[in-house]
């Protein structure tokens, strides 16, 4: 990232954190709070009953409160990321971010707590009294050696898991990668020589974990800034001295000779190519310094093509990413009410992560990389958005907790537990992550047609800074620069701006539009006006000519006006109808609703076609489609004229060779409520529908926009399906995040098939 792009990214990050409700988290109620009776049950006098139950048996707090799904993310800000000692309050954005990751990846409610003291005893004294409130403690960004003392003491005092992720998170993921690297190179862990550069919290945790996995202590050589940590040194603290070895090696270069593996947790350029050449054949090099590794993968592979390399960066294969560990480790620990997270549980997590990388990779994960992924030197660690992580790692951790005797509520049926874990997270979220990753690997040029709008400018910059491709803003440079200045953004952002009135492409686009529309009453001067003044026409013309890959619009125009302009330039795919698909995400559930923008009163054939294409999108997003053809009627009651169209659509599907569940006509309450569905035992759906095919535009448009405005759920779309070239329209109320998501989907659709 260049200095200019970093400055732009930083400004966008500040705008994101400050926009709307400041920060990244909020608390929402999980029970109804609408009536006086609801409040009476939730608070006084109803709350007395669970209070008395918990008084009699404190363990029932897990049954009557959120304790069992609540983790405190705690820091004093003495080692914030790579920024150093920023203090407690400045660490809050990081701790909020960690809480968001807990929720995103493992459905754990994280609460950030910033403790304003650097005194070890004061910090311990503060945290040790929080066990009644939380199911676990995640310590974060606390400098060494204080972090060792704090974690050890709190683990001894508290009866809930205490886990310092800076130490153990990196160790667990690195250990998982090492397990697979040893497997690929045919090494026995008992014979491996491992060199670690860096002697901080993460490095010491790595040394402890690999030893517990089987590497002999004498073969683990650790270096700090003064060289090898050996028995002859008299300047070692108790944590370093625990890993001192008898050796004649004094420098990192000495230690690297004849080594099988290297873990770098230090600084950029600490390792050179001569050191790599001095290692054994097929060296294993995990250069995990951030943001720049101890040695680049390119430099390693230049002198040792058979090496296996991992880094801490997402732009290289084999990223050692803590998010693969801590959410799922806590998930497993919480679900068995573990009293601690011990070495057995960490080792189980490492082995489970390693085992997952050796399995067949789901299509959506491979799609994110733009190639078929399979276990090998460039795939020894699973991708962070692999949807199987939630159902694999917690099970391994929970089982290890039970086997080692720290589980206070053992799981009886692991198959049921696995199903419960899989249901916790919506596969759509992982699929959206996969879409973003796929676009990063195949960046696309996207036109933001309303380039003078504040939201459009911010979205375009966010799109570029996310590495998704090159944005193009349509508008006047002076107006765009003026808006950027008001936003605190530098006009020197090097973002492409096109003013249609002075562009050299005017004549080419005008001739194209005139040729398309001359038989529809359009004169040449009309075509000139459209190209010069209508930004959607210009943007769509760029896409039609291959001057851009996709376009996004909608902030300043009625949806149908934008659609009409796009359709005047871009055609539907052959054999397809254009329709709108809206995705609703709420509390781990996703609904796909079609058609929300195009067909006012669709025919049975159109409804059937929409069902088939929507099911295909849902499958691509990782869902098993269950399609409900929605009506006011439930299977003929009442028997209304419009309901017959829905019944006929089901009949049309019956004549087609489809591979998904479907039924109708049925009311939306029947489609979504399994108890109501039981009243119709003949219903073909095996569970609540996740695809609603609406009977008409009025019901589809009103219902999805009502939910959007009420809030409480994430609405994506309407996504235009069926165009030959990629174009998307956002609602006028779209946020910057909405626009970036739609732009990413537009870019994803523009990537050539099979790439």
Residues acting as catalytic residues? 43, 98
CA distance 742 to 717: 7
CB-based contacts of 709, cutoff 8 Å, min separation 6: 733
Asked if residue 724 lies in contact with residue 339, where contact means CB atoms within 8 angstroms, the answer is: no
Instruction: For 554-654, list the strands marked E by DSSP.
Output: 579-586, 589-594, 626-630
Query: CB-based burial of residue 658 (10 Å sphere; 0-12 exposed, 13-18 middle, 19+ buried)?
Result: middle
Other CB atoms within a 10 A radius of the CB of residue 31 amount to 7
Closest by Cα among 261, 305, 315, 648 to 466: 315
**Which DSSP letter does residue 291 get?**
S
Burial class (CB in 10 A: 0-12, 13-18, 19+), 156: exposed
442, 467 in Cβ contact below 8 A? no
Residue whose structure tokens are 């098939």: 753
Angle, helices 343-357 vs 326-335, to 10°: value is 120
Identify whether the C-beta of residue 566 lies closer than 8 Å to the C-beta of residue 537: no
Strand 550-553 relative to strand 579-586, pairing? unpaired
Q: At CA 199, angle to CA 193 and CA 201, rounded to 5?
A: 115
**Is the Cβ–Cβ distance between 70 and 135 less than 8 Å?**
yes
Whether the CB-CB separation of 199 and 222 falls below 8 Å is answered with: yes
What tokens does 628 get?
Answer: 């409900």
Classify 300 as helix, strand or coil. helix
Q: What angle do CA 335, 208, 286 make, to 5 degrees?
A: 95
Half-sphere exposure of 604 (CA within 13 A, CB side): 17
Say whether 521 sits in a helix, a strand or coil. Answer: coil
Rounded to an integer, what is the distance from CA 243 to the centroid of its chain? Answer: 37
Q: For residues 65-98, b (16+ Cβ closer than 10 Å) or e, as one string?
A: bebbbbbbbbbbbbbbeeeeebebeebbbbbbbb
Residue 116 and residue 125: Cα distance in Å, rounded?
12
Specify whether the CB–CB gap between 346 and 338 falls below 8 A: no
Per DSSP, helices labelled H in 130-198 are: 146-157, 165-185
Nearest Cα to 96, choosing from 23, 27, 166, 162? 23
Distances from the Cα of 397 to the Cα of 18, 174, 273, angstroms: 37, 17, 39
Alpha-carbon gap, residue 108 to 424, rounded angstroms: 10
């Amino acid at each position: 990232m260049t200095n200019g792009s970093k400055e732009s990214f930083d400004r966008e990050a500040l705008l994101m954190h400050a926009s709307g409700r400041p920060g990244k988290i909020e608390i929402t109620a999980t029970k109804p709070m609408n009536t006086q009776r609801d409040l009476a049950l939730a608070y006084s006098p109803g709350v007395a009953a669970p209070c008395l139950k918990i008084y009699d048996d404190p363990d029932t707090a897990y049954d009557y409160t959120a304790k069992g799904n609540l983790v405190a993310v705690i820091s004093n800000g003495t080692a914030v990321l790579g920024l150093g000692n920023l203090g407690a309050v400045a660490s809050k954005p990081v701790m909020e971010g960690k809480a968001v990751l807990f929720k995103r990846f493992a459905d754990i409610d994280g609460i950030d707590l910033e403790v304003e003291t650097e005194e070890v005893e004061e910090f311990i004294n503060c945290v040790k009294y929080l066990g009644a409130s939380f199911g676990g403690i995640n310590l974060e960004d606390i400098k060494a050696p204080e972090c060792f003392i704090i974690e050890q003491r709190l683990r001894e005092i508290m009866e809930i898991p205490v886990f310092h992720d800076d130490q153990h998170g990196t160790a667990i993921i690195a250990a998982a990668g090492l397990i697979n690297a040893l497997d690929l190179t045919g090494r026995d862990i008992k014979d491996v020589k491992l060199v670690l550069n860096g002697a901080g919290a993460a490095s010491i945790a790595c040394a402890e974990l690999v030893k517990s996995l089987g590497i002999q202590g004498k073969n683990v050589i650790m270096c700090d800034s003064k060289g090898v940590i050996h028995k002859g040194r008299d300047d070692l603290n108790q944590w370093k001295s625990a890993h001192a070895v008898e050796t004649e090696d004094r420098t990192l270069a000495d230690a690297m000779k004849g080594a099988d593996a290297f873990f770098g947790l230090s600084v950029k350029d600490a390792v050179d190519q001569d050191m790599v050449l001095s290692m054994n054949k097929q060296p294993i090099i995990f250069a995990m310094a951030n943001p720049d590794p101890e040695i680049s993968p390119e430099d390693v592979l230049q002198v040792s093509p058979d090496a296996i390399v991992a880094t801490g960066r997402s732009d290289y294969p084999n990223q050692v990413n803590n998010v693969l560990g801590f959410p799922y480790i806590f998930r497993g620990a919480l679900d068995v009410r573990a009293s601690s997270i011990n070495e057995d549980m960490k080792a189980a997590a490492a082995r489970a992560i390693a085992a997952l990388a050796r399995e067949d990779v789901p299509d959506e994960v491979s799609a994110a990389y733009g190639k078929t992924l399979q276990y090998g030197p460039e795939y020894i660690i699973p991708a962070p958005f692999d949807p199987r992580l939630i159902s694999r790692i917690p099970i391994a951790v929970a089982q290890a907790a039970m086997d080692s005797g720290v589980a206070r509520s053992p799981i009886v049926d692991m198959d049921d537990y696995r199903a419960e874990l899989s249901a916790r997270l919506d596969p759509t979220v992982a699929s959206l992550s996969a879409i973003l990753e796929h676009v990063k690997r195949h960046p696309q040029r996207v036109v933001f047609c309303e380039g003078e709008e504040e939201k459009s400018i911010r979205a375009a910059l966010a799109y570029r800074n996310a590495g998704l491709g090159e944005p193009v803003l349509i508008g006047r440079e002076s107006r765009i620069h003026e808006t950027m200045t008001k936003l605190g953004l530098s006009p020197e952002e090097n973002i492409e701006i096109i003013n249609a009135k002075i562009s050299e492409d005017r004549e080419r686009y005008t001739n194209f539009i005139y040729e398309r529309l001359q038989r529809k009453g359009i004169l040449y001067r009309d075509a000139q006006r459209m190209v010069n003044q209508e930004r959607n026409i210009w943007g769509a013309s760029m896409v039609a000519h291959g001057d851009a890959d996709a376009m996004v619009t909608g902030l300043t125009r009625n949806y149908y006006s934008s659609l009409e302009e796009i359709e005047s330039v871009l055609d539907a795919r052959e054999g397809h109808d254009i329709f709108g698909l809206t995705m609703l995400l709420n509390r781990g559930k996703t609904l796909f609703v079609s058609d929300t923008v195009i067909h006012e009163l669709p025919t049975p054939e159109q409804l059937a076609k929409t069902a088939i294409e929507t099911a295909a999108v849902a499958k691509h997003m990782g869902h098993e489609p269950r399609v409900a053809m929605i009506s006011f009627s439930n299977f003929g009651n009442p028997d209304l004229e419009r309901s017959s169209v829905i019944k006929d659509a089901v009949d049309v599907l019956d004549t087609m060779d489809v591979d998904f569940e479907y039924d109708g006509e049925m009311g939306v309450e029947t489609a979504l409520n399994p108890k109501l569905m039981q009243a119709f035992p003949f219903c073909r759906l095996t569970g609540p529908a996740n695809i609603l095919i609406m009977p008409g535009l009025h019901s589809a448009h009103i219902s999805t926009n009502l939910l959007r405005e009420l809030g409480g759920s994430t609405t994506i779309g309407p996504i235009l399906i069926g165009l030959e070239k990629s174009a998307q329209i956002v609602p006028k109320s779209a946020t910057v995040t909405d626009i970036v998501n739609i732009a990413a989907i537009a870019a994803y659709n523009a990537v050539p098939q099979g790439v």
